């Protein structure tokens, strides 16, 4: 793999956010390493879809490929993967703004890797680092009681993922954040995003990334810097977010991937319910009450999960899995 300049596509899945997308595309236009294609998969309502089309038309400086799709984060991403022939696919959110060297910093570790895909040491994914995320504490009681819970980028047995932020060097992780994750196309084409749920699927990035992690390495490159502005549009209320977080973690744990454990899931869920219930008893704690209510609803639903996330597939992937013609 080493010594070859890799081709690379950017994928942006969007819905009803043309103003955010405008700033994202402007940051792509000034990259020091330009993408071979910028694949926008748009699930907007008609008025916003027209604004997205006009925005794409104005960017003659970018190789934009605009595709309309039904609203589904996972299906939109898979649609772009199926259309791509690039070596590397970058997934960024429509409300991110990349620093000019972002794509180059992501590609550097990929191009330095000389392992075959069948080698567990192969580098399969590289993540960027949002500059506006808080740096979580790495010490204290939590670190003593549950050391992995403060390891940046770790996936815990409960199905929970630890955000990787504040890093100063290339760091191996278990998953990549969906706003700034790049994979070898062969890896994400083989594993794919889980389409069993419609619309916005909380944690689909952790699910796919952790499955890919079972086959090779993932790293975060702190020099690949971006701002994740977290648009206010299309955001869930706290209660709905809390319920979906619990239900989707239960689905991931049910897959049996890696270190997932049903016992750890229930222990974590009940502890979180107790924590937020105590906070909810305080005056004016409406957010805490919403969190406690959502967690309780999620745990109730998780008693009979509506399915499991996919387990990791066979590896290395076949030519048919990754959309490549068989060798003659």
Q: Is the pLDDT of residue 139 over 90?
A: no
Specify whether 160 is located in the same domain as 294. no
**Residues 214, 279 within the same domain:** no
Q: Pick the last residue of a domain from 201, 228, 255.
A: 228
How is residue 84 written in tokens? 């791509």
Measured from the Cβ of residue 193, the count of other Cβ atoms closer than 10 Å reads: 23
Q: Tell me whether residue 51 is in a domain.
A: yes
Residue 248 lies in a domain: yes
In angstroms, the Cα distances linking 262 to 88, 206, 255, 328 are 34, 17, 10, 46
User: Are 136 and 252 members of one domain?
Assistant: no
> Sign of dihedral through CA atoms 146, 250, 71, 79?
positive
* Domain coverage including residue 268: 238-302
Q: What span, in angstroms and rounded, lies between the C-alpha atoms of 26 and 299?
A: 42
Establish if 208 belongs to a structural domain: yes
Query: Length of the chain, please?
Result: 328
- Which residues are bridge partners to 14 per DSSP? 42
Residue 323 lies in a domain: no
Q: Which residues contact 286 (CB under 8 A, 6 or more apart)?
A: none
Residue-level pLDDT at 97:
98
Pairwise CA distance, residues 181 & 301, whole Å: 30
Q: From the CB of residue 183, how many other CB atoms can be counted at a distance below 10 Å?
A: 25
| Residue 273 belongs to a domain | yes
Tens-place pLDDT, residues 40-49: 999 999 999 9
pLDDT reported for residue 307: 79
Instruction: For 175-236, give the DSSP string.
Output: ---TTEEEEEHHHHHHH----SS-B--TTHHHHHHHHHHTTSEEEEEEEEEEEE---STTPP
Residues 99-116 have pLDDT tens digits of 999 999 999 999 999 999
Domain count of the fold of the chain: 2
Which of residues 296 and 236 earns the better pLDDT score?
Answer: 296
Phi, psi (5° rounding) for residue 202?
-65, 125
Q: Which of 228, 261, 282 is the last residue of a domain?
A: 228
Q: Are residues 252 and 125 in the same domain?
A: no
Which CATH number is 91's domain given? 3.90.550.10
% the chain with pLDDT above 90:
80
The pLDDT of residue 240 is above 80: yes
Helical (H) or strand (E) element with 279: helix 262-280
Instruction: In whole angstroms, give the CA distance from residue 257 to residue 213.
Output: 10
- Would you say residue 1 lies in a domain? no
**Positive or negative torsion for Cα 13, 15, 21, 24:** negative
Residue 288 has pLDDT above 90, yes or no: yes
Q: How far is CA 226 from the centre of its chain?
A: 15
84 and 157 within one domain: yes
Task: Select from 174, 200, 228 the last residue of a domain.
Answer: 228
Report the DSSP pairing between strands 8-14 and 217-228: unpaired
Q: Torsions phi, psi of 127, nearest 5?
A: -110, 150
What the block records as the tokens of 183 is: 């994979």
User: In whole angstroms, how far apart are CA 49 and each of 15, 54, 70, 79, 214?
Assistant: 8, 9, 12, 18, 38
Contacts of 275 (CB under 8 A, 6+ apart): none
73 & 217 share domain: yes
pLDDT at 145 over 70: no
326: pLDDT confidence band, cut at 50, 70 and 90? very low
* 36: Cα separation from own chain's centroid: 21
Q: What is the DSSP letter of 128?
A: E
Q: Give the span between the Cα atoms of 303 and 247, in whole angstroms.
A: 10
Structure tokens at 191: 């594993």
Judgement on whether residues 197 and 223 belong to the same structural domain of the protein: yes
Does a structural domain hold residue 261?
yes
**What is the three-class DSSP state of 326?**
coil
Q: What is the mean pLDDT of residues 225-252?
A: 91
Listed range (166-175, 233-242, 252-261) with the worst mean pLDDT: 233-242
Tell me the whole-structure pTM to 2 decimals: 0.93
pLDDT score for 328: 38
The neighbouring-strand residues paired with 12 are 40, 92
User: What residues have CB less than 8 Å from 131, skipping those under 6 apart?
Assistant: 99, 225, 226, 227
């Amino acid at each position: 793999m080493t010594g070859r300049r890799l081709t690379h596509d950017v994928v942006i899945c969007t819905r009803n956010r043309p103003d955010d997308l405008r700033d994202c595309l402007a940051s792509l236009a000034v990259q020091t390493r330009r993408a071979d294609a910028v694949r926008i998969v748009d699930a907007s309502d008609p008025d916003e879809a027209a604004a997205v089309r006009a925005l794409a038309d104005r960017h003659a400086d970018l190789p934009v490929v605009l595709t309309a799709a039904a609203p589904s984060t996972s299906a939109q991403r898979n649609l772009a993967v199926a259309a791509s022939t690039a070596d590397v696919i970058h997934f960024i959110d429509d409300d991110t703004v990349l620093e000019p060297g972002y794509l180059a910093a992501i590609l550097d570790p990929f191009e330095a890797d000389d392992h075959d895909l069948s080698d567990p040491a192969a580098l399969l994914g590289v993540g960027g680092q949002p500059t506006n995320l808080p740096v979580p504490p790495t010490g204290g009681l939590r670190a003593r009681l549950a050391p992995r819970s403060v390891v940046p980028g770790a996936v815990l047995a409960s199905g929970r993922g630890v955000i990787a932020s504040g890093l100063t060097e290339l760091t191996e992780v278990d998953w990549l954040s969906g706003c700034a994750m790049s994979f070898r196309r062969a890896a994400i084409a083989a594993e794919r995003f889980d389409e069993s749920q419609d619309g916005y699927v909380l944690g689909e990035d952790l699910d796919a990334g952790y499955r890919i992690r079972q086959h090779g390495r993932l790293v975060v490159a702190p020099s690949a810097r971006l701002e994740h502005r977290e648009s206010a549009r299309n955001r869930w209320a706290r209660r709905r977010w809390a319920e979906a977080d619990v239900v989707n973690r239960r689905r991931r744990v049910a897959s049996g991937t890696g270190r997932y454990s049903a016992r750890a899931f229930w222990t974590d869920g009940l502890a979180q319910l107790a924590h937020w219930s105590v906070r909810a008893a305080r005056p004016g704690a409406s957010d805490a009450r919403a969190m406690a209510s959502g967690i309780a609803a999620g745990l109730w639903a998780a008693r009979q999960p509506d399915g499991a996330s996919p387990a990791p597939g066979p590896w290395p992937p076949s030519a048919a899995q990754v959309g490549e013609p068989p060798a003659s």
